[in-house]
Homo-oligomer: A and B are copies of this chain.
């Protein structure tokens, strides 16, 4: 479980840095950096906890997460060069974060007896919703809805691997490794080989 905590911590950090970079591209101030970083890092898990009626929210329970994100936003405001240099190392922690949040979200939903398909969706929401909220706040068309390397789809695939493991009684650590690995592999492969879903060509586009 130490490993799981460490991965979750890494996920929060990676997502927060993603948010800070997004906000600083919009020339926001420190308040904006912290708010967008929090939206990315805590948004998906908050929606999950609200939908499943879990209390307290995960960032209220692990309140030091908010202090870490606050510190990262401070660094982002005071030393933007440093934050930018981190950008190129973000793909792996970001993929791990997506995978971990997916697995945790799917797992919580299954525990509460949620039907399988909905559990997979809640896993995807947990992993991907923070980025959507941040894009909406930053007044952008959410990037995961546009043709780009696969993101939500990798999360969806991993959620089903996790569900298969739970339903068919695999060893828990194997289930965790396989589902996390699925998300991370597909996400990194999508970036490397530019896998993407086609844009829908609306015949009556105006």
Chain B residues closer than 8 Å to A27, beta-carbon distance: 146-147, 199-202, 205
The one of B51, B57, B76, B198 that contacts A51, using a Cβ cutoff of 8 Å: B57
Chain A: residues with Cβ within 8 Å of the partner, total of 63
Chain B residues closer than 8 Å to A28, beta-carbon distance: 145-146, 199-200
Are A31 and B144 touching (Cβ within 8 A)?
yes
A108 within 8 A of partner (CB): no
Distance in Å from the Cβ of A108 to the closest Cβ of chain B?
Answer: 12
Query: In the complex, which residue of chain B has the Cβ closest to the Cβ of A53?
Result: B55
The one of B63, B197, B204 that contacts A29, using a Cβ cutoff of 8 Å: B197
Chain B residues closer than 8 Å to A57, beta-carbon distance: 51
Query: In the complex, which residue of chain B has the Cβ closest to the Cβ of A199?
Result: B27
Query: In the complex, which residue of chain B has the Cβ closest to the Cβ of A198?
Result: B29
A170 within 8 A of partner (CB): no
A4 within 8 A of partner (CB): no
Are B146 and A202 touching (Cβ within 8 A)?
no
Of the candidate stretches A98-106, A130-138, A161-169, A183-191, the one touching chain B is: A130-138
Mark contacts of A171-206 with chain B using CB atoms, 8 A cut-off: 1 yes-contact digit, 0 otherwise: 000000000000000000000000011111111111
Instruction: Take A53-B55, A132-B137 as given contacts and tell me if A30 and B115 are in contact as well, using a CB distance cutoff of 8 Å.
Output: no
Are A203 and B84 touching (Cβ within 8 A)?
yes
Query: In the complex, which residue of chain B has the Cβ closest to the Cβ of A146?
Result: B28
A140 within 8 A of partner (CB): yes
Q: A24-B200, A32-B145 are in contact. List 7 more A-B contacts (CB 8 A).
A: A23-B200, A25-B204, A27-B200, A31-B197, A60-B118, A63-B115, A137-B142
20 sampled A-B residue pairs with Cβ under 8 A: A24-B202, A27-B146, A27-B147, A27-B199, A27-B201, A28-B200, A31-B151, A31-B153, A33-B200, A35-B142, A59-B118, A60-B115, A70-B117, A77-B197, A77-B200, A80-B201, A136-B136, A136-B137, A137-B142, A137-B145
